[in-house]
Amino acid sequence: MSGDDTERFAHARRVIEAVLFASAEPLGRDRLAEYLPAGAPIDAVLDSLAADYAGRGVELVRRDDAWAFRTAPDLAPHLQARVVEPRRLGRAALEVLAIIAYHQPVTRAEIEEIRGVALARGTLDLLIETGFVRPRGRRQAVGRPLEWATTPHFLDHFDLASLADLPGLDELKAAGLLGQGRGIADYAADQEQ
């Protein structure tokens, strides 16, 4: 790299570092590239920053296709005493969250069909409040129902790099997490037919 290239790269690193520190949410590669001149090596900048922060108290992590600074996982015990305990999700909310995660985008009617019971009004409200789900848009069907999907906060909270990291049905069965009766596995099998 020439002297000018080295200076431009160092400046790009500083800009991206500042943008990521200032952001409350993970930012995608394309969004970050908007802060740099056209053709700037955004991937090299992100890789360089991630390497520099690896092993430090704050690390640059990739979640799905977005980047964010996060506290190193091994330091969590030192911080937990000062963190306010978040509202716990009940069984119904966890079931709905799992259905949305595995079947997104999914409508309320589809959630109810999979669960076999009506969805309580407050369940989706709680999942929205926690930042785990959001409306994704409207289905192009009769009544144009809302479709629901998970958020980057969901991935971050459950330490998933992407939805592909969710456990598969075989893993869930082996762990004894899939009970008797109709459930996600049966619904998935019906959809394949």
| Domains and their CATH numbers in the chain | 3-80 (1.10.10.10), 91-192 (1.10.10.10)
pLDDT digits (tens, 9 = 90+) for 60-119: 999 888 999 998 988 888 777 665 566 788 889 999 999 999 999 999 999 999 999 999
Contact 64, 161 (CB under 8 A): yes
Higher pLDDT, 180 or 175: 175
- The pTM assigned to this predicted structure is 0.56
Q: Which residues pair with 61 in a beta bridge?
A: 68
Alpha helices in 104-167 (DSSP H): 108-115, 121-129, 152-157
Extract the runs of DSSP E, i.e. beta strands, from 50-181: 58-63, 66-71, 106-107, 133-138, 146-150
